[in-house]
Amino acid sequence: MAKVTFKIGGVHPDDAKLSRGCAIEVLPLPQTLYVSMAQHLGAPAVPCVAVGDKVKTGQVIAEPGGFISAFVHSPASGTVKSVGPRRDLAGNGVTHIEIAVEGDEWVEGVDLSEALVKEIPQDRTAMLDRIKVCGVVGLGGATFPTHVKLNPPPGSKAECLIINGAECEPYLTSDFRVMLERADEVVVGAAIMRRILGDCPCVIAIEENKPEAVKSVSGAVSALGYEGISVLTLKKKYPQGGEKQLIDAVMRRQVKSGALPISVGAVVQNVTTTLAVYEAVQKNRPLISNVLTVTGDCLPVESQRNFLFRIGMPLNYIAGYAGGVPGDAAKIVSGGPMMGKAVADMDAATVKGSSSILYLSESLTRRKPESACIRCGRCADACPMGLEPFLLNRLRKAGDLSGLEAGSVQDCIECGCCLYSCPANIPLLDHIRMAKGQVMGIIRERAAKARAAAEAVSPKEVTKENK
């Protein structure tokens, strides 16, 4: 089949999948785990255990703090030592539950066997509930609660479930290893979500630089024999794994600005999320672990790893287990080199969505001095949202907020393609992100005002009608 990709923009960074050959290893438990209450998009979870409580692996230790929030479970068995603020990856204080690890004794009712459960349950609501209770969130980056995404609002219908196996970020290989080693479970997970969404077609989309994954997932699809699931090979291009770009690549549809993917009938889930869905629904196993790559350009290939980690493991524990931080690392990133976050504190603990510890060398990552814009247009060619970053930057300098809004700065997905491509090394995204924040603020304010105005008007209308 012809390989597809998204239409607008994109860049081709060196994919540097150095750790692709490293099989997933299980990390042993450390003595202490620090479980963050902000593991997901939305409201932080609320702790439901107290200091001194004994907890078991997989036991709920925090409950959703709102509609968009998620359950959090204990990643090991032991004693709750403290509940309080601790610094996260970015250095911000977030409530963490500290657990003194005593062992790995699981709660009742979890199927810990390796056996594949192929039979898909019929009860949609029960499956959704399992996914919710097991604390499954999107593991591709946004950590949006999965049960919310799998339950489209009334009036909208899923027409295509896209399983995102693009893994377009350079260096990362965790999704790749999952597709290679756990293809069967991923395919069952896809079949479950398909059933939940009303048996819509499902496409598992994988970039062409992972032919082994294409082979293993295709093999699993035909061996398991579910209906309506197909595998699609994509051309390699960053940011293919961006939700909007993937929808364009697979369905040839574009999500309108400000709208949700479901407005064009799309539901996108990452492969590791799909695995988590499988474990939740078929094994009643809560999401307390994920796969992370230890990699980077200054880490020798033989020291690179793919680990199955438990949430709450401090980064320096994992780094230490893998042989320590290489001496020439200039920056440590959690996530990919294009969209990941620079780690401000290696004491910070892993969360559900952690995907890597990436060591980058000075020469690769140090920003070069900025020079004048030469109007080369590379930033605009690279922008997958079709924006004109050079123009947005100029408007920001001039403080022209309405111009920025007309230039759709609010559509920026912060993929970094513009800054990546700029020969003058202008920190375009830094500026655009700030401008986007301002413009979003204005848009929200306007919406709030409009709502208030509508509410002020409607009582009159009611009285009119009553007359």
Partner 1 sequence: MDKYLVSPNPHVHAAVSTRSLMRDVVIALLPALAVSVVFYGWKELLVIAVSVASCVCIEYAITRWLLGKPSTTGDLSAVVTGLLLAMNLPSTTPWWVVFIGALVSIGVAKMTFGGLGQNVFNPAITGRVFLLISFPTYMTHWEMPAGLFGADAVSGPTLLGRVNEQGAAAVEGLDCWQTLFVNVGGSAGEISALALLAGFVYLLCRRVVKPWIPLSIFATVALVAGIFHLADPAVYTGPVFNLVTGGLILGACFMATDYVTSPMSTAGGIVYGCGIGLIVTMIRYFGSYPEGVSFAILIMNMAVPLIDRAFHQKKYGRT
Q: Using CB under 6 A, pick the residue from 382, 404, 435, 439 that binds ligand SF4.
A: 382
Burial class of 403 by CB neighbour count within 10 A (0 to 12, 13 to 18, 19+): middle
Q: Which stretch binds ligand SF4 (CB under 6 A): 31-39, 209-217, 422-430, 439-447?
A: 422-430
The answer to the question of residue 110 lying near ligand SF4 (CB under 6 A) is no
Identify which of residues 259 and 374 has a Cβ nearer to ligand SF4 in the complex. Answer: 374
Give the shortest CB-85-to-partner 1 separation in angstroms.
Answer: 18
Which of the listed partners (ligand SF4, partner 1, none) does 128 bind, with a CB threshold of 5 to 8 Å by partner kind?
A: none
Which of the listed partners (ligand SF4, partner 1, none) does 412 bind, with a CB threshold of 5 to 8 Å by partner kind?
A: ligand SF4
Which of the listed partners (partner 1, ligand SF4, none) does 211 bind, with a CB threshold of 5 to 8 Å by partner kind?
A: none
Q: Take residue 328 and report the two structure tokens written for it.
A: 């020439």
What is the contact surface with partner 1 in residues (CB under 8 A)? Answer: 8, 11, 13, 170, 244, 248, 254-257, 259, 329-333, 337-346, 358, 360, 364-368, 371-378, 380, 383-388, 390, 408, 411, 414, 416-417, 419-421, 423-425, 429-430, 433
Q: Is residue 349 within 8 Å of residue 312, measured between CB atoms?
A: yes
Which of the listed partners (ligand SF4, partner 1, none) does 232 bind, with a CB threshold of 5 to 8 Å by partner kind?
A: none
Q: Which helix (H) or strand (E) holds 164?
A: strand 160-165
Identify which of residues 128 and 364 has a Cβ nearer to partner 1 in the complex. Answer: 364
Distance CA 220, CA 225 (A): 8
Q: Take residue 456 and report the two structure tokens written for it.
A: 């002020």
Q: Using CB under 6 A, pick the residue from 271, 416, 431, 435 that binds ligand SF4.
A: 416
Scanning residues 428 to 447, which ones bind ligand SF4 (CB under 6 A)? Answer: 428-429, 432
Check residue 304 and give left, alpha or beta (phi > 0: left; psi -120 to 50: alpha). beta
Which of the listed partners (ligand SF4, partner 1, none) does 360 bind, with a CB threshold of 5 to 8 Å by partner kind?
A: partner 1
**Which parts of 182-239 fold into alpha helices (H)?**
183-196, 211-224
Q: Give the sheet arrangement for strand 160-165, strand by strand.
A: 229-234, 202-207, 160-165, 266-270
- Using DSSP bridges, classify how beta strands 32-36 and 93-103 pair: parallel, antiparallel or unpaired: antiparallel
Identify which of residues 96 and 147 has a Cβ nearer to partner 1 in the complex. Answer: 96
Distance CA 273, CA 163 (A): 9
User: How much helix, strand and coil, in percent to the nearest 5, is found in the chain?
Assistant: 35, 20, 45
Identify which of residues 318 and 338 has a Cβ nearer to ligand SF4 in the complex. Answer: 338
Q: Take residue 189 and report the two structure tokens written for it.
A: 């997970």
Identify which of residues 374 and 452 has a Cβ nearer to partner 1 in the complex. Answer: 374
Distance CA 47, CA 67 (A): 16
The answer to the question of residue 418 lying near ligand SF4 (CB under 6 A) is yes
Output the furthest CA–CA distance in the chain (Å, rounded): 81
Per the document, the length of the chain is 467
Binding mask 338-377 for ligand SF4 (x = CB under 6 A): -----------------------------------xxxxx
Q: Which helix (H) or strand (E) holds 76?
A: none
Residues that bind ligand SF4 (CB under 6 A): 373-379, 382-385, 387, 389-390, 412-418, 421-424, 426, 428-429, 432
